[in-house]
Amino acid sequence: MIIVVEGISAAGKSTYARLLGEATWVPEFEEEGTPPAVESPAEEKAAYWIAHNERRFARALEVEAEHGYAICDTDPFKSHFDWCMARAGFTTMDVFNAAMPMARASFGAERLGFADLYLVKRIAPEVARRQKEGDATRSRSNFETHLALQPHLMDWFEALAQVLPGRVEFGFRDKDALLAELNKKAPEASPRRFDVSLLDALLERLPI
The pLDDT of residue 12:
85
Q: SS3 for the chain, per residue? A: CEEEEECCCCCCHHHHHHHCCHHHEECCCCCCCCCCCCCCCHHHHHHHHHHHHHHHHHHHHHHHHHHCCEEEECCCCCCHHHHHHHHCCCCCCHHHHHHHHHHHHHHHCCCCCCCCEEEECCCCHHHHHHHHHCCCCCCCCCHHHHHHHHHHHHHHHHHHHHHCCCCEEECCCCHHHHHHHHHHCCCCCCCCCCCHHHHHHHHHHCCC
The pLDDT of residue 185:
72
- Residues 147-183: tens digit of each pLDDT: 899 999 999 999 999 999 999 999 999 999 999 989 8
The pLDDT of residue 9:
79
The pLDDT of residue 139:
52
The pLDDT of residue 164:
96
pLDDT along the chain (208 residues), means of 10: 90 90 91 89 97 96 95 96 96 97 98 97 79 60 83 97 96 94 80 96 94
C-alpha distances (whole Å) from 195 to each of 73, 120, 185 are 22, 22, 25
The pLDDT of residue 23:
95
The pLDDT of residue 36:
94
The pLDDT of residue 178:
93
C-alpha distances (whole Å) from 105 to each of 26, 47, 113, 125 are 23, 12, 11, 37
56/30 Cα distance (integer angstroms):
10
15/3 Cα distance (integer angstroms):
15
Domains of the chain: 2-205 (3.40.50.300)
The pLDDT of residue 126:
75
- Look at the chain and count its residues: 208
C-alpha distances (whole Å) from 133 to each of 10, 47, 98, 170 are 9, 35, 36, 24
The pLDDT of residue 137:
59
The pLDDT of residue 48:
96
